[in-house]
Amino acid sequence: MAELLMAALAAAGHQVELASRFRSHDGGGNPARQARLEAVGKRLAARLVRRYRARPAAERPRAWFTYHLYHKAPDWLGPAVADALGLPYLLAEASHSPKRAQGPWASGHAAAAAAIARADAVLALNPADAEGLRPLLAPGTPLVPLKPFLDLEGAPRPACARHELRARLAGRLGLDPGGVWLLAVAMMRPGDKLASYEVLGAALARQADRRWQLVVAGDGPARPRVQAALERAAAGGGRIAYAGVLDADGLAELYAAADLCVWPAINEAYGMALLEAQAAGLPVVAGSSSGVSQIVRQGETGLLAPAGDVDAFASAVDSLLDRPDKRAAMGRRAAAIARSEHDQASAARILDQALRDAAARAAKGAGA
């Protein structure tokens, strides 16, 4: 998504520069590590300020844009640079939860809250974040809705027809080209991803009397546990193929060849793979976590089940296994909605307006 935001800003006519590759994320809740990251971040911010001030005035940045700020990954760079240079400060996909004010991420929580309060505009990709953000925003600071989006014009497309593609992939993956192909696309890591795979495995185990086939794209440190969960489900007669980590071209082939994308989406913000699948004309069965419902339209582009509800997820998958016409209709609708509501051009217009408005407000404030 960060790359897509940069591309959309560039498409809107702005020159985009990646300021730093510094990562402030601490997933383990280690206050000592967080203190070190804060110190590094402050040094880097001071260095950036010196670097930008050394440039000719016409070549200095005109705004700062930070993506994905929250208590585990506060922004130690943006507010400091924006304050020193008098720049408008914009955020995309920030989140804030008061319950994180205490505990191992207390310092990151406070820093994230301060950055959100400093922002001149916040773009919200997940509507569920709005409740936590609004109390922190300064008067007049807009919370701008921005739907997750894709570069649909530049997206890779399979070079051959679907039947040829399925035949080739079936030989490589050991699948029946004529059966129903389910597809899951996700990293294999402990936490929510593993929990989602476990729900998927339990749901498919409910389909013991069906000859389902599942293709899994992804890999990671939790692979043994993911495989254990899925192989137990396959004991009833299902078939599983592991495609591993794929590039954009490889994923495009799977989206085009599969019949149904399945992902329980435990604590998923919105699910880029779910959006990619639908943009390719693939209907979805997903868990209704957080912002997933703005990606998957219930009964229109796919089916949603309560997050973590194994029986409901299994029932949703079951209801589409033998209904190719319904899957096809959902897939066509999903692709049409992706083109009209989740395209880069629409996002570029929203980002451009948010940036221009933030710059105008910042300039007005500086002159007050």
What would the 3-class secondary structure string for 135-180 be? HHCCCCCCEEECCCCECCCCCCCCCCCHHHHHHHHHHHHCCCCCCC
d(CA 265, CA 281): 19
348 and 337 within one domain = no
316 and 234 within one domain = yes
- The number of folded domains in the chain is 2
The strands making up 284-287's β-sheet, listed across from edge to edge, are 239-244, 213-217, 181-185, 260-263, 284-287, 302-305
209 and 289 within one domain = yes
Does 25 fall in a domain? yes
Does 261 fall in a domain? yes
d(CA 363, CA 359): 6
Question: CB count, 10 Å around CB of 271?
Answer: 26
d(CA 338, CA 360): 32
d(CA 53, CA 51): 6
The reported pLDDT for the residue numbered 367 is: 60
Q: What confidence tens digit (pLDDT) does each residue in 16-42 have?
A: 999 999 999 999 999 999 999 999 999
Does 154 fall in a domain? no
| Alpha-carbon distances, residue 309 vs 198, 213, 291, 293, 319 (angstroms) | 11, 21, 17, 16, 16
The reported pLDDT for the residue numbered 235 is: 83
130 and 65 within one domain = yes
Torsion over CA: 220, 38, 69, 304 (sign): positive
Does 157 fall in a domain? no
Residues whose CB falls within 8 Å of the CB of residue 189, separated by 6 or more in sequence, listed in order = 220, 221, 222
Q: What is the secondary structure of 224-254 as a DSSP string?
A: HHHHHHHHHHHTTS-EEEEEES--HHHHHHH
Provide the residue-wise pLDDT of the chain in tens; the chain has 368 residues: 999 999 999 999 999 999 999 999 999 999 999 999 999 999 999 999 999 999 999 999 999 999 999 999 999 999 999 999 999 999 999 999 988 888 999 999 999 999 999 999 999 999 889 999 999 999 999 999 999 999 999 899 998 999 999 999 999 999 999 889 999 999 999 999 999 999 999 999 998 788 899 999 999 999 999 999 999 888 877 799 999 999 999 999 999 999 999 999 999 988 999 999 999 999 999 999 878 988 999 999 999 999 999 999 999 999 999 999 999 999 999 999 999 999 999 999 999 999 999 999 888 776 65
353 and 223 within one domain = no
179 and 76 within one domain = no
- Cβ pair 204, 314 in contact under 8 A: yes
Q: What confidence tens digit (pLDDT) does each residue in 225-280 have?
A: 999 999 988 887 779 999 999 999 999 999 999 999 999 999 998 899 999 999 99
34 and 129 within one domain = yes
- Cβ pair 305, 285 in contact under 8 A: yes
Does 156 fall in a domain? no
Does 132 fall in a domain? yes
Does 254 fall in a domain? yes
The reported pLDDT for the residue numbered 368 is: 53
The reported pLDDT for the residue numbered 209 is: 80
Q: Which CATH number goes with the domain that contains 64?
A: 3.40.50.2000
90 and 186 within one domain = no
The reported pLDDT for the residue numbered 106 is: 95
92 and 30 within one domain = yes
Domain interval for residue 217: 162-341
231 and 211 within one domain = yes
282 and 296 within one domain = yes
315 and 355 within one domain = no
Does 129 fall in a domain? yes
- Quote the crossing angle between the two packed helices 344-367 and 2-11, to the nearest 10°: 80
Q: Which two tokens stand for residue 313?
A: 């997820």
Average pLDDT, the chain: 94
